[in-house]
Structure 1
């Protein structure tokens, strides 16, 4: 081999410098490893590449929450909450204007009408209302309707009230 070749001499000098300069060599190794990791998809930051990447790309909230709702068993409580929040859409605006849902326990929905006439009408419409609720919410959310008219104020509050007592009037003497 000819040692007078300037290209070979420059290459040999560059190799010698790269072996003796630890700072430059360390940075080059890191950038090579980083480039290799990015090509293999193992990068920790930056661009994840074209196409959908469900682990790294932002996801839509609706399908994500639907999966959690299903996974955690929240379907029934959310459907029960819809009875109260979406009452006008479930039964119709004209019916909802004259009655309100009060309680929903074990599939039994208690509805209070604004007048005794509307209570009678709702009792006649009970089968239709129940069919609408079942169609929208499912067969297990609402299974029975109890319709009542307006009532006067009650002195009893809650399930733990004392039976036979007259409320605040029993202390008048």
Structure 2
């Protein structure tokens, strides 16, 4: 065994001091080569075009970038717009959110039947409810516009319950229908 100790590879310096020295050397080399050295800056986003306009170069960084992953809602919204599905999606949203739009009390007594050319057809369970909804029509339209969007529904057609039909069976006699014949 020898009394010699192996040479210190760090030269008596700590790892931090060596890293600091390597960083300073790299910065000095970059300055000598004419490159700008800045703290925390990254390289510019290169255009895929050859010979592109140099003034249009932008820097990547902490801000949003078109290369970043996009939210699913943004993608589906663009897909619906490209295919012209926005009106059907708005209609489905209106029918699904009807109780939260008009309130549980009104939704228990009236329901939307169809949306045709921005006219919403609503059937009430009684003529009294139909009359009440006609008085509240402007308020209901404002609530619909706030939750689904403007110009999805421009007017309401509110009807009461359907009257019973006296037509029974495949054959009938035309006329006024049943009336008091006992008096």
Q: TM-score, normalised by structure 1?
A: 0.54
Report whether the alignment pairs 1:134 with 2:135.
Answer: no
Offset, 1:121: 0.7
Q: Which residue of 1 aligns with 2:75?
A: 64
Offset, 1:92: 1.4
Pairing partner for 1:109 from 107, 120, 123: 120
**How many residue pairs were aligned?**
111
Change (3 A) 1:71 1:121: same
Local SS of the residue matching 2:79 = helix
Q: Which residue of 2 aligns with 1:170?
A: 171
Offset, 1:59: 5.9
Unaligned runs of 5+ in 1: 1-50, 156-165
Change (3 A) 1:133 1:154: farther
Unaligned runs of 5+ in 2: 1-61, 174-183
Local SS of the residue matching 2:171 = helix
| Deviation sequence 1:125-158 (CA, Å, 0-9, x none) | 0111011112222222111111111113559xxx
Change (3 A) 1:64 1:127: same
Offset, 1:119: 1.0
Report whether the alignment pairs 1:92 with 2:103.
Answer: yes
Q: Counterparts in 2 of 1:16-35, with a 5 A limit?
A: none
Q: CA RMSD in A?
A: 3.0
Alpha-carbon distance in structure 2 between the residues aligned to 1:54 and 1:171: 70
Q: TM-score, normalised by structure 2?
A: 0.51
Structure 1 stretches of at least 4 aligned residues deviating more than 6 Å after TM superposition = 51-55
